[in-house]
Amino acid sequence: MAGGVLLSWHATGEDLAGYLCLRRLANLPQWTVIGRPAAQDITMLDPRPAAGEYLYAVQAIGVNGRFSQMTQSTPVVIR
């Protein structure tokens, strides 16, 4: 995918410190943090992931330090 993978999500409300964007290979359990967008952001670009099949996730981070549940993507195949 020449342009990368664009993640987008709906704003979760007030009292946010920001978001955590994660990626993992579909066949592995470990998540890797790929970005920490600010509270006002609702998109993030993963510019050039290596070839493979990935899952992406986003978590909201509250000002109190609590994390929301992950929202996971369907598998994304990069060739």
Distance in angstroms (rounded) separating the CA atoms of residues 68 and 14:
13
Mean pLDDT in the chain? 92
pLDDT tens track for 47-73: 989 999 999 999 999 999 999 999 988
Record the pTM.
Answer: 0.89
pLDDT at 29 over 80: yes
Residue (of 45, 66, 67) closest to 56 by Cα position: 45
Six token digits for residue 7: 């993640």
Compute the CA torsion angle 29, 20, 42, 76 (nearest 10 deg).
-20
- pLDDT, tens digit, for every residue of 3-17? 799 999 998 777 999
Take residue 21 and report the two structure tokens written for it. Answer: 């964007």
Type of residue found at 48? R
pLDDT tens digits, one per residue of 30-48? 999 999 999 999 999 999 8
